[in-house]
Amino acid sequence: MATQDITLERGLPSNVDSEQLVLGSILLDESAFVLVAGTLEPEDFILEKHRRIFAAMAGLNESGEKIDRITVANELMRRGQLESVDGISYLVSLDDGLPQIYNLESYVGIVKEKSLLRRIILNSQKLIQRCMLDQEDAGVILADAEESMLRLSDIRDRQDLLKPGQIIEEFEGGLSAFLDPSRRVKGVSTGFLKLDEMIGGLHPGELAILAARPAMGKTALALNIAQHVATHHDIRKPVAVFSLEMSREQLLTRLICAAARVDQQKFRLGFLNADERRRLQLAASDLADAPLFIDDTAGANLMDIHAKLRRLKAEHGLSLVVIDYLQLMSSRGRSENRTQEVSALSRGLKLLSKELKVPMLVLSQLSRATETRPGDHIPQLSDLRESGSIEQDADLVAFIYRPEYYKPDREDLRGIAEIHIAKQRNGPIGKARLAFLKEFTKFENLASDIGDEPS
């Protein structure tokens, strides 16, 4: 009740003077509209008449007409809104005697800031009302709250366009550092040489989709990458793995057996020799101290993942997030169909990767189209299951293709896996060949790629 009293007493956050100065500046010099329109929209003004005036200006600008008192008044009259904005006399008052304003950006920033505060308040009021009605599951309301705040965060974090000189000036070390390849920002290494050559590692703020048909090894590849980042002596950085399909015990078994190069079936049955037991002990000891964090909550939703990652980053840092897999996630929000739900999830994961500034490696299922399509069965972007927006939101889309699965008689294809890069915003498309050790559920560099170096 105390919060409600404050709202009633003070009113919604606003700065009408700044709104008037912004509109007056545009009437004074129509070129200012271009500067303002990149940041503000009609809904950012608290007064309805200011919203209508700005919308009329936008209409004139879109049609290529001049923006001044007369044209704006005529546009408002055409819309039947001139009287509702207090007539032409109010338009005159906006720029009458107004000097040239050189700090327009400051006033635009004030209007935007107040608008954001109002949106937060209105969103909160809607959530409070839904809670008071007590007609929905608490988890659904909480998920909607998370999604709405993420959208507001995206609005807040939008940056202005920068000139090349400004970008170089903001780069740590200036021009010399910007031109020095050794100082350039590098992605997180996957541990696979040919794959790293193609994609430059996994980059902070980017959403990478790794997709394949069942039993192709997408979980194994993702775990190999996570294990490399968390345990390699040159990296050893925190990694979060969310497994929506396997338990943490199953996941840990895979990790240890892959690192020790021990057949998982032999491990489960207990048919191990002394050397295999020794290798398992060493692998388990190495993993025990690694900054690898595993969550096996079934049906985890975006809200849960967001909260856990923020806490993990604050306490331990974070360099990579792996989610296995997208179609098992739940939005807990309201959506008309599964396609819309998956679209919302992929967009939310992209926003989350940008907010946390970490690469997000998300696994995805493929449709059966790869199996029924004649030819070599190589996956395509259109095979991504349940949503076309996955490929739109992703910065990188990679497919696992194992030709031996479709051509079992070809001896030369045994143990060969191809990682097809079907989309990459900042690099080429193509494929990287890896070795797949089926008995260990493990991917490795091909011997021809590493020479005499160990994998």
- Strands 416-424, 292-295: parallel, antiparallel or unpaired by DSSP? unpaired
Q: What is the pLDDT of residue 122?
A: 87
Q: Quick check: 228 and 282 in contact, CB under 8 A?
A: no
- The tens digit of pLDDT for each residue in 392-403 reads 788 999 999 888
Q: Does residue 174 lie in a domain region?
A: no
pTM over 0.95: no
171: CB partners within 8 A, 6+ apart: 177, 178
**293: left (phi > 0), else alpha (psi -120 to 50), else beta?**
beta
Q: What is the pLDDT of residue 333?
A: 52
Q: Residue 383's domain is classified under what CATH number?
A: 3.40.50.300
Q: Does residue 384 lie in a domain region?
A: yes
- 160 three-state secondary structure: coil
Total number of domains in the chain: 2
- The tens digit of pLDDT for each residue in 147-172 reads 677 667 666 655 555 667 766 676 66
- CA distance linking residue 217 with residue 418, whole number of Å: 11
- Strands 416-424, 396-401: parallel, antiparallel or unpaired by DSSP? antiparallel
Query: Dihedral angle at the C-alpha atoms of 258, 263, 267, 269, nearest 10 degrees?
Result: 150
Q: What is the pLDDT of residue 4?
A: 45
Read off φ and ψ for residue 421, nearest 5 degrees: -85, 105
Q: Residue 94's domain is classified under what CATH number?
A: 1.10.860.10
Q: Does residue 221 lie in a domain region?
A: yes
Q: Does residue 131 lie in a domain region?
A: yes
- The tens digit of pLDDT for each residue in 32-45 reads 887 788 788 899 99
- The tens digit of pLDDT for each residue in 429-445 reads 899 999 988 888 889 88
Read off φ and ψ for residue 307, nearest 5 degrees: -65, -45
Distances (CA, A) of 330 to 48, 201, 308: 39, 29, 16
CB-based burial label for 158 (10 Å; 0-12, 13-18, 19+): exposed
Grouped pLDDT means (10 residues each) for the chain, 455 residues: 46 89 89 82 92 92 87 93 91 81 83 89 88 84 73 61 68 67 69 89 91 87 92 88 87 86 81 86 86 84 80 88 83 61 80 88 84 77 72 87 81 85 88 87 81 47
Query: Can you give the residue range of the structural domain that contains 70?
Result: 2-135
Q: Does residue 383 lie in a domain region?
A: yes
Q: What is the pLDDT of residue 336?
A: 59
Q: What is the pLDDT of residue 180?
A: 63
266 and 400 housed in the same domain: yes
**Closest to 207 in 3D by CA, of 301, 322, 110:** 322
Residues involved in catalysis: 245
- Strands 396-401, 320-324: parallel, antiparallel or unpaired by DSSP? unpaired
- CA distance linking residue 389 with residue 16, whole number of Å: 40
- The residue from 135, 167, 197 where one domain ends is 135
Q: Does residue 24 lie in a domain region?
A: yes
Element spanning 396, H or E: strand 396-401
276 and 344 housed in the same domain: yes
Q: Does residue 58 lie in a domain region?
A: yes
- 63 three-state secondary structure: coil
